[in-house]
Amino acid sequence: MIRKVLLAAFSLGLLFWAGSPGQAQAAERAIELRLVGLSQGYTRPLRATSERLGKVRGLKDVRAVSHRAGITRFTARTVLPDEEIARALGLKLLDAREGALLLAPAAASEAWRAEARLAILAIVEAIRERQQRHRRNMWDELPNLFPSEATTEQALKVLGLDPRMLDGRFFKIRDYHIEEEAGWNGTYKVWAGERYAPVPVGNLYDFDFSSNQGEEPDPKARFVGAKMNLNSWGGGFWWVDIHGSVLNGMEFERDATDPGSGKLAVQVGAERLATLLEAAARYRFKENVEKKSKDELHKGSFGNWQLKSELGLGDDYWDCMPFYNDNAFSLSWFKHEQTGHLHARVKALYPSHALHLDGDLDVDAAKAADFNFAKVPVRWTVGAESDVNVFEQRRTELSAGLKVLRDALFALQDPPPASNALSGKALCAALSLAEDKLKGTHFSAADYLLLPQMLGDWEIRAGSSATGGASWTLVSFSSKTDIRSYR
């Protein structure tokens, strides 16, 4: 009898514990999933992806929040620990704090930059909100927000932000910098890394007078940065690191057409570049310049009004808009190893940019020809394509290559290891595919990528904005179906 009473009391205690307010609910929590390094196919539309995530065991009430700066955000409720969520999604857990998980495919080597992007976005939004209160019309100058020589911690406190927000896994508060140039322009640089190393994006308000503008940026540089201009005439916000430049408002592809002339944008850019080289040749032999050494000649961005004035150039770059403006072009000088002649060199943007151009002109030969540039043409390292048909040929070839890879992937019984992106020989070996199956006029096996995604999906990718456009297919290996394609 006593045993029965004790058993009943124990059972009643279990029921009371399980039904107590907060006990059953304590295991469930609200989280934010921040997914980076994923295919664009998941964002088209976000609703479809949130529905797929909602079917993952242990996740419920999944809702799409936004896709910004390459970071796709969802809210959800779950009883799963952080690591189990990552395993359920087939992703790597990069960071977890304050109810938010930063997750990415194992092969997404640059995904850690998202930590800095989130912090930079919060800072620039706080700056924008505070400064806009002070401007009643376009002529109002903006006051300095921060004391002279303010530290990053002091600047954050002025903005009402907790400095602890910058104490992340990949970047600490000492890595962040906020530079202010108030007044009429209202320009702000917010960045993380060892040094400020921007790339030219062609924006009217984005300029760098340094001589190395137009050089290929280091893709491994530990730099994430943005620039904001609060000029009432225009301005805006844009990323200035090489990985973030593709996240700006509009990404041009190399087959873009100039709306005014109907020509390819790169052809219009090449015409402008040739004009700049011709002006540089004449400048070299001006009376007060001719005796100067190579290193004494003006160089750098054509956004520099002093350089434009010295070269006799006016405010005549508008015909290249919106694809180029003078901030996109940079001038340098070199001596030809064989002839010893001085050459002027102009680059548009940087080598991996979609609209990159690179040409030089023998200025000594131009003077000898009395500046008859028909006799001394521009020598192109990277010139403009002849017509749009070149890009159509590239896309057709890529489409056929993606189909070959898709069929080979679906023919496998088990998927390849999902720890690395596969390309070239490794790609062909993983898919038991002969390399010559991907050999074409414009591309080879080295130009194709197989990228692991989430939920066991894969993205097959080839091309880029610099070749006239990227083509990709996001597929489900488990169901052997296409999720989304772009060609």
Rounded to 5°, the CA angle 252-226-33 comes to 90
Structure letter (DSSP) for residue 247: G
Average pLDDT on 171-181 reads: 95
| Confidence at residue 16, expressed as pLDDT on a 0 to 100 scale | 32
Q: Is the model more confident about 481 or about 327? A: 481
| Confidence at residue 138, expressed as pLDDT on a 0 to 100 scale | 64
Residues of the chain with pLDDT > 90, as a percent, come to: 64
The Cα-based distances of 171 to 40, 102, 113, 116, 224 in angstroms read 26, 14, 9, 7, 10
Q: Where are the alpha helices (DSSP H) in 336-387?
A: 363-368
Q: Is the model more confident about 304 or about 362? A: 362
123 pLDDT higher than 80: yes
Structure letter (DSSP) for residue 262: -
| Confidence at residue 320, expressed as pLDDT on a 0 to 100 scale | 59
Q: Is residue 309 within 8 Å of 182, Cβ to Cβ?
A: no
Average pLDDT on 47-70 reads: 94
What φ, ψ does residue 51 adopt, rounded to 5°?
Answer: -65, -40
C-alpha span between 228 and 142 (Å, rounded): 14
Q: Is the model more confident about 362 or about 97? A: 362
Q: Where are the alpha helices (DSSP H) in 373-478?
A: 389-410, 424-430
Confidence at 319, pLDDT banded by 50, 70, 90: low
21 pLDDT higher than 50: no
Q: Is residue 356 within 8 Å of 348, Cβ to Cβ?
A: yes
Average pLDDT on 129-145 reads: 81
Q: Which of 232, 229, 248, 230 is nearest to 240 (CA)?
A: 248
**Token pair for 311:** 């070269």
13 pLDDT higher than 90: no
Average pLDDT on 129-146 reads: 81
Q: Is the model more confident about 170 or about 111? A: 170
Residues in contact with 277: Cβ distance below 8 Å, sequence separation at least 6, in sequence order: 344, 346, 359, 360, 361, 378
Average pLDDT on 456-482 reads: 91
Rounded to 5°, the CA angle 18-19-21 comes to 110
**Token pair for 414:** 């088990």
Average pLDDT on 286-296 reads: 93
Partners of 72 in the β-ladder: 35, 67
Confidence at 250, pLDDT banded by 50, 70, 90: low
What's the full length of the chain, in residues? 487
| Confidence at residue 9, expressed as pLDDT on a 0 to 100 scale | 40
One-character DSSP codes across 185-230: T-EEEEEEESS--------TT----STTTTSPP-TT--EEEEEEE-
Average pLDDT on 129-148 reads: 82
The Cα-based distances of 404 to 45, 401, 411, 431, 474 in angstroms read 26, 5, 11, 10, 14
387 HSE (CA, 13 A, CB side): 1
Q: Is residue 105 within 8 Å of 144, Cβ to Cβ?
A: no
C-alpha span between 376 and 363 (Å, rounded): 9
| Confidence at residue 409, expressed as pLDDT on a 0 to 100 scale | 97
Segment among 60-64, 345-349, 405-409, 462-466 with least mean pLDDT: 462-466
pTM for this one?
A: 0.80
Instruction: Find how far residue 356's CA is from the centre of its chain.
Output: 16
75 pLDDT higher than 90: yes
C-alpha span between 220 and 316 (Å, rounded): 37
Confidence at 328, pLDDT banded by 50, 70, 90: confident
In whole numbers, what is the pLDDT of the chain averaged over residues? 87
443 pLDDT higher than 50: yes
| Confidence at residue 142, expressed as pLDDT on a 0 to 100 scale | 87
Strand ranges (E), 320-417: 329-335, 342-348, 357-362, 379-382
Residues of the chain with pLDDT > 70, as a percent, come to: 90
Q: CB 435: neighbour CB atoms within 10 A?
A: 14
Partners of 286 in the β-ladder: none
- First vs last Cα of the chain: how many Å apart? 78
| Confidence at residue 35, expressed as pLDDT on a 0 to 100 scale | 96
How does pLDDT run across 199-244, given as a tens digit for each residue?
Answer: 887 776 776 666 556 677 888 889 999 999 987 776 789 999 988 8
Q: Is residue 283 within 8 Å of 346, Cβ to Cβ?
A: no
Confidence at 442, pLDDT banded by 50, 70, 90: very high
